[in-house]
Structure 1
Amino acid sequence: MLRLANVSKRFGGLSVLQDVSFEVPQGRVVGLIGPNGAGKTTVLNIITGLVAPTSGAITLDGSALTGLKPHQVTRRGVGRTFQNIRVFKEMTLLENVVVGMHAHLNYGVGGLMFSLPAFRRREHEARDKARELLSWVGLEGKAFELADNLSYGDQRKLELARALATEPRLLLLDEPVAGMNSGEKVELMKQVGQISRRGYTILLIEHDMRFVMGLCDQVAVLNFGRIIAEGPPEQIQRNPDVIEAYLGRDEDAVPGEPLGATA
């Protein structure tokens, strides 16, 4: 579904990404991992049009995404969450999710001004869909609470529901369990797995290796702006280049020792 071909990015004299190429097959969950500063979030920012690549091409179902503005990428079917939570804290959970639908809501000027039947029907449908999406992340019982009253973990779940409200075919998750406790991580892993089984294709960035290895069908590893390994989780865990990227080289290490579950 998604293909990056030789994508590079330079900020002035600093090379952040160098000839990054990988694919995200339709219906799969793919993890993009790597040490801090490897360039992972830059990859998501380039895919979603927040940052322009210096060179290379990005396609979604064969159509170019390169050069599109963020709202155009969203309309093509790409939704995302952010590393730093960006919910509207002064709004209710339901309102937050409805906001995510704005790209697909076509009320018309007359409908907005005069509250025509078509407008009221579309608004009712949007709220019903928002409640459904909140149920997917376990927040249906808090639909009318202010987002500012949520715990950190629940705010992350709300952001996921809002990303789903954009009706994406491809969902990008930037460190979805950052700051969560172990119980919240297990719960969200189950919920993301259920979302995948509903037909969504997912590309995620995450530092928690237990989450990545337990959820992803395949993993790509980024280090110093380059892809150094790709493959199924069990293969990536034992890849010596990956282990060195995370833990450094140890001349006394046992060959084939897997990457730690919480590295």
Structure 2
Amino acid sequence: MQNQPLLQLNNISKSFGGLHVLQDVNLSVPQGEIFGLIGPNGAGKTTVLNLITGLLRASGGSITFAGEDIGKIAPHKITERGIARTFQNIRVFKEMTLLENVVVGMHDHMDYGFAGMLFNLGGYRKCEAQARERALELLSWVRLDHKAQMLADSLSYGEQRKLELARALATKPKLLLLDEPVAGMNPSEKTELMTEILNIKQRGFSIFMIEHDMRFVMGLCDRIAVLNFGRIIAEGTPEQIKNNQEVIEAYLGKEEAA
């Protein structure tokens, strides 16, 4: 039996002028699971993420998160509700330390006021100390705490991906959205990140990802939906998706699915 849905997309459509990018998309992301959305290039996967995070508005349908309709809420308000996102293109602050990168992600949740920051009052110092302690803990989750004082620019590509993951977790999300998390990674980096994501799930986080690497998705997700030409053509467990003939023809290819 699936857990209670955390995120639901109900009959979502999105058009740009006369181009229909998404049509009647229905998705349900359960609490505490890893949900994958796959599909060919141009299928509309990134558009789905942009709708969930408020960067785009749906042309029709509704998006519900933790029981609340978030379809017309501003992006920063959606972050406050508990949705965090990583991007396909790495967006870490390379001239800051790893610790500073993660602390930046916490500032919206720090309660010390402008005066406290301006005059370096006790409440500000306490909040900053707690933030640094939490940031170090999050870095340990992705096994980067030993590099906390190093500049982000000194990290390998795979390590920068993991830093971005820690920074997203700093916003205290209920749902973590991953936009092609292993794009550009080598096989060993992919294996490491798979371990980190599984560990995050085991800490109680729910995860929604889009990804092209089928081996990665199949080995990680509890459930997978397949998007093709803006429509969901299949949803199920990795095994069900792997053996779905329509999916094989649309995306996987018979050789890869074998």
Give the TM-score band, short-chain normalised: over 0.9
Give the TM-score of the pair, scaled to structure 1.
Answer: 0.93
The aligned residue for residue 175 of structure 2 is 170
The aligned residue for residue 84 of structure 1 is 89
Whole-angstrom distance in 1 between the partners of 2:23 and 2:108: 33
Paired residues, number: 253
Q: By how many angstroms is 1:258 displaced? A: 6.7
1:18 corresponds, among 14, 20, 23, to 23
1:194 corresponds, among 194, 199, 216, to 199
Structure 1 runs, 4 residues or longer, greater than 3 Å off: none
SS at match of 2:21: strand
Q: By how many angstroms is 1:35 displaced? A: 0.7
2:163 corresponds, among 155, 158, 163, to 158
1:62 corresponds, among 52, 61, 67, to 67
Q: By how many angstroms is 1:77 displaced? A: 0.4
Q: By how many angstroms is 1:13 displaced? A: 1.5
Whole-angstrom distance in 2 between the partners of 1:109 and 1:208: 45
For 1:106-255, list aligned pairs within 5 A. Answer: 106-247=111-252
Whole-angstrom distance in 2 between the partners of 1:160 and 1:171: 9
Structure 2 residues without counterparts, runs of 5 or longer: 1-5
Contact 1:101/1:166 (8 A) holds in 2: yes
Contact 1:82/1:174 (8 A) holds in 2: yes
Contact 1:237/1:258 (8 A) holds in 2: no
Whole-angstrom distance in 1 between the partners of 2:159 and 2:22: 33
Whole-angstrom distance in 1 between the partners of 2:66 and 2:58: 19
Whole-angstrom distance in 2 between the partners of 1:143 and 1:65: 35
Contact 1:177/1:206 (8 A) holds in 2: yes
Q: What do residues 155-205 of structure 1 show as CA deviations (whole Å, max 9, x unaligned)?
A: 111111110001000000011111111111111101100100100000011
Whole-angstrom distance in 2 between the partners of 1:51 and 1:151: 32
Q: By how many angstroms is 1:113 displaced? A: 1.4
The aligned residue for residue 30 of structure 1 is 35
Q: Which amino acid aligns with 2:121?
A: L
The aligned residue for residue 6 of structure 1 is 11
Whole-angstrom distance in 1 between the partners of 2:256 and 2:115: 62
Q: CA RMSD in A?
A: 1.2
Q: Which amino acid aligns with 1:85?
A: I
2:56 corresponds, among 33, 51, 56, to 51
SS at match of 2:49: helix
Whole-angstrom distance in 1 between the partners of 2:218 and 2:99: 32
Whole-angstrom distance in 1 between the partners of 2:213 and 2:57: 28
Q: By how many angstroms is 1:247 displaced? A: 4.9
Give the TM-score of the pair, scaled to structure 2.
Answer: 0.95
Q: Is residue 98 of structure 2 the alignment partner of residue 98 of structure 1?
A: no
